[in-house]
């Protein structure tokens, strides 16, 4: 084990683990990259670190300056942890319907939390953060949905790591949130091997938390559209809360305790594996299961947990 000067140096270089025993197709291998081992607990540590360091480099973030973001949890945790280490105050707008562990974790790192209404979802949290950014032009608004440093973290980190550890990859399957992972990794892999197929998994957005009054309030992250996401991605599938929870439970068979977005990614992997004849699928586990224990994902009655998932934000 190496000696690290700072916990921030432990972000990235996560393990890629073969879990082909869960593949529904014996000719398709499946490997999963465990991002829950990052010190802030999720893949979002990568984007958080890159957004802060890029801002420090270009002068938009300086000593003592407040950082602002909106997040349903993981980006907030990464930013809160790094802000704490580097001495920046941090304010985050979080939808009120996230699991209690997430807000407690943010408090542990000293973040200031502003709650946004559950009914407005992640879009509502983002709009509030945008309004706050206008009110406080002296703050640094990291804006993960539009910050080029978000996909850059994956283009320079996650993507090269996957290529180094599994150059035989034929399909990359990942969830779609800010689109940072799919854009950064997808672009890197396609540059190395244009025949790698990039599959997006659209997670279950609970219909009661979609948070829109009209379709015109809908939102596609600039990270996706500014980087030609529609051309980069080859397929996109939706998965439901129930199959996501079932896959979260199945992952424990191979010793992986991961969050519900990992279950969703695996549900997408299963669809991909069933459709192709042979190949090697790489997917990403965005976080561990710790922050979701209170939601009874692993232990509760499946119908009850699946119904509850329609009203909570997991991503």
Question: Helix 74-86 and helix 100-108: axis angle, to 10°?
Answer: 10
Active site members? 44, 261
Pairing of strands 67-70, 279-285: unpaired
Q: Which one of 68, 196, 233, 266 is in contact with another protein (CB under 8 A)?
A: 233
Choice from 36, 39, 157, 221 touching another protein (CB under 8 A): 221
Q: How far is CA 79 from each of CA 43, 73, 110, 172, 271, rounded to the nearest angstrom?
A: 12, 10, 11, 26, 33
Stretch that binds another protein, among 105-113, 135-143, 236-244, 251-259 (CB under 8 A): 236-244
Pairing type for strands 16-18 and 28-34 reads antiparallel
Nearest to 217 by CA among 126, 302, 87, 149: 126
| CA distance linking residue 71 with residue 63, whole number of Å | 23
Q: Does 263 bind another protein (CB under 8 A)?
A: no
DSSP letter, residue 155: I
Q: How near is the Cβ of 147 to another protein at its closest, in Å?
A: 11
196 binds another protein (CB under 8 A): no
Per-residue binding letters, 60-79, with another protein (x by CB under 8 A): -----------xx-xx----
Q: Closest Cα partner for 238 from 273, 267, 262, 213? A: 267
**CB 309 → another protein: shortest distance, Å?**
14
236 part of the interface to another protein, by CB under 8 A: yes
Residue 114, judged by CB atoms within 10 A of its CB (0-12, 13-18, 19+), counts as: middle
Is residue 239 part of the contact set for another protein (CB under 8 A)?
yes
Look at residues 179, 185, 254 and name the one whose alpha carbon lies nearest to residue 220.
179
> Is residue 113 part of the contact set for another protein (CB under 8 A)?
no
User: Smallest distance from the beta carbon of 68 to another protein, in angstroms?
Assistant: 15
- Residue 195 touching another protein (CB under 8 A): no
Which spans of this chain sit near another protein (rule: CB under 8 A)?
Answer: 44, 71-72, 74-75, 121-123, 126, 144-145, 175-178, 180, 200, 202-203, 205, 207-208, 210-221, 230, 233-239, 271, 315
């Amino acid at each position: 084990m190496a000696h690290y000067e700072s916990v921030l140096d432990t972000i990235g270089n996560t393990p890629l683990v073969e879990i082909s025993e869960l593949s529904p197709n014996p000719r398709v291998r499946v490997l999963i990259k465990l991002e829950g081992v990052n010190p802030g607990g999720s893949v979002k540590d990568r984007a958080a670190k890159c957004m802060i360091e890029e801002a420090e480099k270009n002068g938009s973030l300086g000593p003592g300056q407040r950082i602002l973001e909106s997040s349903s949890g993981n980006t907030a945790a990464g930013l809160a942890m790094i802000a704490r280490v580097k001495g920046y105050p941090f304010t985050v707008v979080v939808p009120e319907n996230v699991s209690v562990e997430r807000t407690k974790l943010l408090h542990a790192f000293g973040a200031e939390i502003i709650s946004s209404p559950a009914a407005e979802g992640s879009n509502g949290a983002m709009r509030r953060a945008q309004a706050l950014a206008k009110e406080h032009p002296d703050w640094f608004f990291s804006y993960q949905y539009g910050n080029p440093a978000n996909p850059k973290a994956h283009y320079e980190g996650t993507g090269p790591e996957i290529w180094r550890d599994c150059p035989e990859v034929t399909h990359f399957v990942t969830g779609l949130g800010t689109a940072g992972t799919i854009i950064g990794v997808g672009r890197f892999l396609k540059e190395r091997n244009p025949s790698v197929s990039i599959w997006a998994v659209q997670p279950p957005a609970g219909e009661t938390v979609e948070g829109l009054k009209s379709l015109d309030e809908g939102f596609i992250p600039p990270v996706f559209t500014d980087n030609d996401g529609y051309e980069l991605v080859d397929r996109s599938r939706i998965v439901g809360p129930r199959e996501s929870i079932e896959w979260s439970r199945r992952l424990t068979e191979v010793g992986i305790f991961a969050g519900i977005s990992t279950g969703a990614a695996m549900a997408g992997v299963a669809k991909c594996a069933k459709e192709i004849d042979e190949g090697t699928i790489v997917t990403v586990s965005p976080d561990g299961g710790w922050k979701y224990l209170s939601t009874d994902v692993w232990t509760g009655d499946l119908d009850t947990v699946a119904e509850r998932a329609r009203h909570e934000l997991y991503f």
